[in-house]
Amino acid sequence: MINNKKIVVIMPAYNAEKTLEKTYNEIYQNFVDEIILVDDFSSDETKEIAKRLDITTIVHEKNKGYGGNQKSCYRAALKAGADIVIMLHPDYQYTPKLIPAIASMMAFEEYDAVIASRMLGNSALKGGMPLYKLISNRFLTEFENMLLGEKLSEYHTGFRGFTKKVLETLPLEDCSDDFIFDNQMLALILYNGFKIGEISCPTKYFAEASSINFVRSCKYGLEVLLVSIKYRLAKLGFKVKLFNNGGKILDLEKELIYYNRRDL
């Protein structure tokens, strides 16, 4: 715990057998109360490795997509009694060593959510980020800041943390099951008046690290533009379903299989 807050790390996983153990071994266990991995119907040995590492492991009986995986992660974390939830991808693209810093920013009630930004500093290209991804990231971020009225350095990192209050307030079940879920979630956080903090984070791009291809990146970019426009319309008083406040996190789905059940 940090400041008497229960810290739960969630790991949305898909075919992460080559990087999961390395990621897990760099988590400072004395700062984390529980680690929960949700395997989104991987075709490799991800769930077996997670079980061997004694990670609380949930397996989808069918692939639910990146956003659908996160929804299961957050439901499980809340059911486990988390006060603060840190999402860490098990592909070793982000350093787990920043978990205590991210958690502390929320545990002492300075922020409601924290994102680990690859754009603060000059580490993105040095870490191997493709130039087209860097350019598109900066363009989309500027567009979003303009329409959302914010000054975040990026909206597209997969390393982020949330308080229990944020997760219980947002209507996440109404969000997409695809990659745009991340962006919708941040827009909802800002729309509901929560405060987002940022921390600089180095990144690593390599063969085993997960990444969406160029075509899906283009689709994601267009969806990001749409989310920003919907946000602005909602702020202007138009009814937009994405920002329907008051949704609650649902209970755990019946088709989830628990390998390490613990207190869930």
* 263 located within any domain: no
Assigned domain for 18 exists: yes
Q: What is the CATH number of the domain that holds 129?
A: 3.90.550.10
pLDDT, tens digit (0-9, with 9 covering 90-100), for 31-86: 999 999 999 999 999 999 999 999 999 999 999 999 999 999 999 999 999 999 99
The residue that leads in pLDDT, 250 or 86, is 86
What pairs with residue 84 in β-bridges? 7, 163
Closest to 92 measured CA to CA, from 155, 24, 144, 40: 24
Q: What is the DSSP letter of 39?
A: E
Q: Which domain holds residue 186?
A: 7-242
Domain count, the chain: 1
Q: Considering the entire predicted model, what is its pTM?
A: 0.89
User: Above 90 in pLDDT, residue 203?
Assistant: no
In a domain, 45, yes or no: yes
Instruction: Judge contact between 246 and 168, C-beta under 8 A.
Output: no
Span 140-181, pLDDT tens digits: 999 999 999 999 999 999 999 999 999 999 999 889 999 999
Q: If DSSP codes are grouped into helix, strand and coil, which group holds residue 114?
A: strand
Q: Specify the 3-state DSSP secondary structure of 79.
A: helix
**Cβ pair 84, 7 in contact under 8 A:** yes
Q: What are phi and psi of 136, to 5 degrees?
A: -65, -35
Sheet holding 84-87, edge to edge: 196-200, 113-117, 160-163, 84-87, 7-13, 34-39, 56-59, 257-258
Residue-level pLDDT at 241: 67
Instruction: Tell whether 169 is covered by a domain.
Output: yes
Q: With respect to residue 214, please indicate whether it lies within any of the assigned structural domains.
A: yes
256 within domain boundaries = no
pLDDT of 189 reads 95
In a domain, 248, yes or no: no
In a domain, 236, yes or no: yes
Statement: residue 257 has pLDDT above 60: no
